[in-house]
Structure 1
C-alpha cells in the first residue's frame, strides 16, 4: 500500500531538436555578446587612428572622421535595436555591416594618400576586418563566411587597382586567400566546438536536474510515511520546531492535536494487518483533506497515532477542529465489529493543546499536554475530543505534582488503607471488608481517589501501589486472622503486566496467607478489553485460590461478555441502580439486572446501601451481600484488629470513622 513515485524514462532529444535548442541558445549568447563585442571593436577601430597619423598623415583627418562616423553610427543603430527588442538576426547584420562599412569607410579616404607605396602596404590592414568576422565575433558560420567573403572581394578589387608590381599582387593575393581560408576553417572549428560544448553542457544540465530531482525524491522519502503518504515523525518534529520558534519570536499561536484510532489492535486481530493498513490509509486521507482546509500539517506519529499542527488564534477554533476530526473519522463508517463498547465502527480519540504563556515553557511541553488530553479522551469513553485545560485537575500541572507525589508516597508513608465492611443480608454477619486506598499531601491534605488513581494508572505508579496494597492487606488483617476475607481493587494495567500473578503468589508465601482469603475486584469498563494476557492472568489468580469479583457491573459496555468468559465469584452491582429504585422504572431495571446475574449463578453484592428502606429492599430481592454507609463507613485497620471472632457474631463499625 506504500506510495511509490512513478518512473519516468529519460527523454533523449533527437538531432533536429538538438539543433533547434543549440540555435536558440546560440542566439541568446550572440544577443548577450552583441553590445560588449561591438563596443570593444569600435574602441579598437578608433584607436587605430594613431597609425593613420603616422602612415598616411595627408589623409588622416578624413580617415579618422570616417572611423568616428562609422563607429558611432554602428553603436547608435545597435542601441536602438536593443531598446526596441529587435531580433538577434538584425543585431548580427548590424555588427557585420559595421565590419564591412568600417573597412570601406576607412579604405576610401586612405586610397587618396600621396604616398602610394605606403598606402599599398597599409591596405593589407583589411585582413584584420576579415579575421574579426571569423574570430572576434560570435557570428554563425554562414554570416561569418558572407562577411569575410565581402571583405575578401574588396581586398582583391583594391589589390587589382593598386599600382604595384605583379609580384606584389600575387604575394598579397595569395596572402588574402590564405587568411580567408585559415580564418574560415578556424571559425568552422570554433562553431563545431561550440556545438560540442553545448552538447556537454546540456548533458551536464540534464544530469544535474536528474540528480536534483533524485535528491528531492530521497528527501521526500525520508520525510514521508511509506504507508499513508503523510509526513512522518521526523518531518513533523521539524515543523513543530518551526511553529514553536515563530510562536516564541512573533507570538504566532498554534495547536498540537494527537489522534489515536480506538481499539486498533482489536481491528488488526479481527480483520488482519492488511485491512488494518487500509483502515489507516482511509483515516489518513480523510484527515488530510480536512486539515488542508485549515492550512495545517498532519503526520503519522507512530502506529495508529496521528498528529496535527495548525496555526490558530483562539482555543475555540482548536476545540472545533478537534471535534471535526472525531466526526470525520466516525463518518467514514469503517466496520469494527470486535468492539464491546456499543459502537461497531472505527472511531478516534483526540487530545489537543494550545500554546499559552507559561514560565519555563519548552518545545516538548505542548506535545505532553496534548498527550494528557488524549489520555482523558480515552478515559472518557473514546470517540471524543478533549482540549488540555490547565485548570482541570485531571489534566493540569496539578496531575504532574500528583505523579511526583506518588513516586515518594510509599517511602514517606503518604499512602494508607481504610476498610469498608461488607455484610451478609440473610445472616447479618460481617462477611468481608473492601480495602480502599487513601493518599495525603506532604502537609497532610487528603487527595481524593478520583484524582490520584487515574494519574497512578497513567504514569504506571499503580503497579507499585497495587503490590503495596496487597502486601499491606495481608499483614494488617489477614495474617492475624482479624477478618475472614478482604477485597482489593485491581487495575486492568496490573492484570496486563507480565508476572503480576507470580508477584501476588510471592506476597502470599511471604505473609503466610492463603489465596482464598483474598478477592480482587475488577472494574467493568472500557479499559477492561478482552485481552488474552488479562484472561490468562485471571486464570492464574484463580489457581492461587483468589476470588475474582466484577465491580461496578452495569456501568460499562463489556459486562455481559465478561460474565460469559469468566466465572466470577461475586458480581457487584453499581450503587446508581439502587438509588434509582425510587421510580418504578428504576426498580424494574435493578430487578432485571439481579435476575440476569442470578441466572449466571454468581453471588450478588449491591453497593451504596445507606438507609433502612434500601436494606429492606435488598432483603426483599434476596441479595447475598451489601455494602454502604448503612453497613459501615471505611475505617482504619485498628478498628478490625480487635475482632478475631468476627465470624461468630455480627460486627458494627463505629460511625465516626
Structure 2
C-alpha cells in the first residue's frame, strides 16, 4: 500500500534534526563569517598601515639621525603588505591566508622599523621609544581577529625580537631591562589571554546562534508538518474537510472577483457500508485509499484539488469553463473508479465491483448566490445519481425536476405540512452540569411524507429556508412550544431554532409577541437559537429584530459556535445569554490538540461572560470532561434523546426551576 501524506508528516514530526560533530562545528564556525572576516581584515590592515606611517613623525622627533631609513622602511613594508593583501583578495584566496598576511605584516613592520632604528646615536631616546613596540603585539592579539595560535606566534616573534634588542642594544642597566622586559612579557601574556577569551566567546556566540537556528528550523519544519497534518485526512492523505472548505472559499472568491468558473464534484462510494461489513474495516480502509489515489491520479493534469469530505465521500474542485466540461469530468471519474475492478460481492444490483456515484455542480450566476449553495447543488445531483441506480454521474440542472430544489416534492410538501399535520416537534433535554437537573429543552422539528417516511432535517430545513416556507413553519413551532409545554409549566425553558430568514422578515418580533400574549407565556421562558453560519449576514434588520426580541424578555442563544465564519463578530455585537459550542469540538477531544482547542474556545466564551452549553455529550467520559471544564449546561444522547411533548407533561423533577438558564419574567 502506498505511503500516504499523513504517514510522511508523522515521520517528519518524529525525525530528529542532524546535529554536527565538534569538528564539523569548528569548520562551520570558520565558514560562518567568511565575508565579514575578509572585509574586517582588509579594513584592519589599511588602518594599521595608516597608523604605522603616522609614527614617522615620532621617528623625526626621537631618532632623527636614522629617521629617513625607518620611514622608508615603513613605507616599503606598508606598501608591500597592502599590495599582497589586495592581490590575494582579487584572487579570492582563503580568509586564513589573509590573516597570515596581516600577521606577517605586523611582524615585518616591527622588524622593518626596529633594525634601522637600532643604529641611531640617540640611544637614550631609543631606549624609551622601544616601548611603542608593544603596539604591534597588541595589534596581533586584539586589533585583528586572528586565531589564538596565529596571534601567539605573531606576538611571540615580536616579543623575541624585543628581547634580542634589549640584550644587545639597551643600556646595561639591570633595572631598565627588568622593567621593560616585565612590561613586554606582561603585554604578551595579557593580550594573548584576552585573545584566547575573545576567540572562546566568539565561538560560544556562534554555538548559541547555531543552536537557535537549528531550533528555529526544527520548529518551522514541525509547524509546517503540523499544519499539513491538520489539513490532511489521516487515512487517505488527501485534504480533509477543513482544507477543502478553505480551498472552496478561495475558488469561490476567484469566481466572484475574476470570473474564474469552477465545478464542485461530490463522489460517494456505492454500498460502502456493505463492503465494510463484509470484508472488514481494514479492507474498507484499503478500498478508500485505492479510490482516493485513483481519483487523485485522474485529476493530476487538471487545475483541481481533491479532498475527503467525510466517510466514503470525496470532493473535487476543478477549474472548468463550461457545464459540458463538468459533465465530461464527472463521467471520467466514474469510469476511472470502475476500471479498478475492486471486487464487491455484497451488492444486489447486478454489479460485483466497487463503483461510485458522482454529483457535480457548476458555478452559475443567480440571485442571492451563496458559497454553500454550490455544494448543496452538487449534493442534490449526487442524490439524483443514487436514485438513478448508482454508478453514474449527474450534473445539477436548475431546470431539471430531478435535481431542482424548487421542483422537489419536499418543497411542495412543506406548503401543506402544517395543515396536514406532517410536521411535529420533539424535545431534547438540557442538563445543568453542577446540579444534574434538566433546566431546559430544545424543540426539534420533524417532517414526514404523506406515506409516513421521515425526511431528515438536514434536507428539508435548507429547502424551507430557500422557498420561504420556514417563516410559517417557524411561527407554528413557536406557537406549538408555548401551547404544548410552556403554557402549563411542564418545563422551565424551551429553546427554538430561528432561521436568519425569520429574523430578516419584517414584523417577526411582533408576531412572536402576539403568540406570547395569546398563550399567556412570559418571554423569559423562551430562548431563540441563532446559528452562526455563512448566511447570517450582519445587517441592521437582523440586529434590530434581535433587540426587539430581547425587549420581550426572550433569551438569545448562539448555536453551533465555532463552525461558521462570523462567530467572534457576533459575540462582539450581541450579548448572548448562552453560547452553544458545536459537538465537533467535543468529539475531537480524543486528541491532545482537540482537547486544547475546546479548552481555548471555552476560555474565550467564558471571558465574554456568556453561559456555556456544549452539544453532543454521548458518553460518561465526555460528561466527566464537562465537569472538569466547569461547563454550565450540556446536551446530547447521554443526557437524553429527543422525545415527544407527552414525556415532559408527566415528567417529575422539572417543577422546581433553579436559576441557571431560567430568567424571571
> What TM-score, normalized by structure 1, do the two folds share?
0.56
Matched length: 425
Is residue 55–residue 118 contact of structure 1 (8 Å, CA) maintained in 2?
Answer: no
Judged with a 3 Å threshold, the aligned counterparts in structure 2 of structure 1 residues 188 and 309 are, in CA distance, closer, same or farther, namely: same
Give matches, 1:470-509, under 5 Å.
none
Check conservation: 1:67, 1:106, Cα contact below 8 A.
yes
Change (3 A) 1:272 1:41: same
Q: Is the 8 A contact 2:449 2:455 kept in 1?
A: no
Aligned equivalents of 1:305, 1:65: Cα separation in 2: 90
Deviates more, 1:327-336 or 1:82-91: 82-91
CA distance in structure 1 between the aligned counterparts of 2:226 and 2:261, rounded to whole angstroms: 32
Aligned residue in 2 for 1:619: none
| Unpaired runs of at least 5, structure 1 | 416-459, 467-488, 498-657
* Aligned counterparts, 1:253-264, within 5 A: 253-264=261-272
How far does the alpha carbon of each residue in 1:384-409 deviate from its partner, in whole angstroms, 9 at most, with x for none?
Answer: 11223344344357548x86665334
- For the 8 Å contact 1:257–1:370, the answer to whether it is kept is yes
Instruction: Please say if residues 29 and 203 of structure 2, whose CA atoms lie closer than 8 Å, have aligned partners that are also in contact.
Output: no
After TM superposition, give the deviation of residue 110 of structure 1 in Å.
Answer: 5.4
Give matches, 1:59-70, under 5 Å.
70=77
Q: Is the alpha carbon distance of 1:273 and 1:95 closer, same or farther for their aligned partners in structure 2, counting shifts above 3 Å?
A: same
Identify unmatched segments of 5+ residues in structure 2.
423-443, 460-665
Distance 1:211 1:252 in 2: 37
Contact 2:34–2:95, Cα closer than 8 Å, also in 1: yes
Cα distance in 1 between the residues matched to 2:171 and 2:370: 97
Give SS of 1:292's match: coil
Per-residue deviation at 1:45?
A: 4.7
Matched-pair contact (CA < 8 Å) for 1:322–1:350: yes
1:182 aligns with 2:190: yes
Question: Counterparts in 2 of 1:217-256, with a 5 A limit?
Answer: 217-256=225-264
Query: 2:57 matched to 1:53?
Result: yes
In the TM superposition, what are the counterparts of 1:457-468 in structure 2 within 5 Å? 463-466=447-450
Per the alignment, residue 414 of structure 2 pairs with 407
Structure-2 residue corresponding to 1:558: none
Equivalent in the alignment of 2:43 = 39
Distance of 1:333 and 1:322 partners within structure 2: 18
Question: Would the aligned equivalents of 2:343 and 2:352 in 1 still touch at CA under 8 Å?
Answer: yes
Q: Which has the larger radius of gyration?
A: 1
Say if 1:257 and 1:352, in contact at 8 Å, map to a contact too. Answer: yes
How far did residue 276 of structure 1 move? 2.3
Whether 2:139 is the aligned partner of 1:135: answer no
Secondary structure of the residue that 2:314 maps to in structure 1? strand
| Cα drift, residue 306 of structure 1 | 0.6
- Choose which of 156, 159, 172 in structure 2 pairs with 1:149: 156
Match of 1:96 among 89, 95, 103: 103
Alpha-carbon RMSD across the aligned residues, in angstroms, is 3.8
1:33 deviates by: 1.5
Structure 1 position 123 matched with structure 2 position 130 = yes
2 CA distance for matches of 1:252 and 1:110?
A: 86
Deviations along 1:248-278, whole A, 9 cap, x unmatched?
A: 3444333321111112223233333333222
| Alignment partners' CA distance in 1, 2:46 and 2:99 | 15
1:185-221 deviation per Cα after TM superposition (whole angstroms, max 9, x unaligned): 3333333444444444444444333333333332222
Distance 2:68 2:327 in 1: 91
Matches within 5 A, 1:98-117: 98-107=105-114, 115-117=122-124
Matched residues in 1 for 2:392 and 2:256: separation? 31
Instruction: Find the partner of 1:378 among 379, 386, 394.
Output: 386
Q: Distance in 1 between matches of 2:38 and 2:99?
A: 8
Question: What is aligned with 1:26?
Answer: 30
CA distance in 2, matches of 1:355, 1:81: 67
Residues 1:101 and 1:30: Cα distance change in structure 2 (over 3 Å)? farther
CA change 1:203–1:408 in 2 (3 A) is same
Q: Which residue of 1 aligns with 2:371?
A: 363
Please give the secondary structure, in 2, of the residue aligned with 1:345.
coil
Partner of residue 448, structure 1 = none
> Structure 1 pair 357/69, CA: closer, same or farther in 2 (3 Å)?
farther
